[in-house]
Amino acid sequence: MRSCRHPARRACPQAALVLLLASLTGCGGGRTVQPNAPELSAFLEVSLPARVRILTWTKPVSLRGDGTADAVEVVLAAYDACDDPTKLVGTLVLEVLTRRTGQHIATQVAARSIELRTPAAIRAEREQPSGFYRFTLPVRAGKLTPGQYVVTARLQYEGASARMDEFALSYDGTPVPPARTR
């Protein structure tokens, strides 16, 4: 996978980033940042999410706390063009679908759409200090049946194609942990 990191030049990119951020925040000689400034455009190009990834901590959970799998907890990370962790921005659509051999159309078991368009919304959904995002999707039927599932994540923001990921999830019917609370 391509990476924007160059081990032989570690200090140079950090110094360049400090200078770029200083100029973007108004500390670069009193100049205000213009919405169409080339620096801002370059910064956004490398900083916005280039990919999303559903992490292996995704699992069935119990909203009631009684061990019944009545929700799926999706743990998600976002990475920028340099493959560094970044924040989610835009509309995130999460789905849990059945996965059966020979079936061409999956059945939706759970779904959730999350708007991450303001700093407050982004901060509210992001876990500290990990920087990951944790979303709970209640199962529509009230209980997850044992079987194979596919969890999908689709992030869309204006001016970019959707960033997507899939994750295979198995559930064997055993009791599950309670859903995490913030």
171 within 8 A of 103, measured Cβ to Cβ: no
Q: Which two tokens stand for residue 41?
A: 């455009």
Q: Which residue has the tokens 């997507």?
A: 164
82-124 pLDDT per residue, tens: 999 999 999 999 999 997 767 677 899 999 999 999 999 998 8
pLDDT per 10-residue tile (average), the chain, 182 residues: 37 42 49 74 86 97 96 96 93 92 82 95 88 95 94 92 95 95 74
CA-wise closest residue to 109 among 77, 149, 136: 149
CA-wise closest residue to 61 among 52, 76, 74: 74
pLDDT of residue 29: 53
Domains of the chain: 7-46 (no CATH), 49-171 (2.60.40.10)
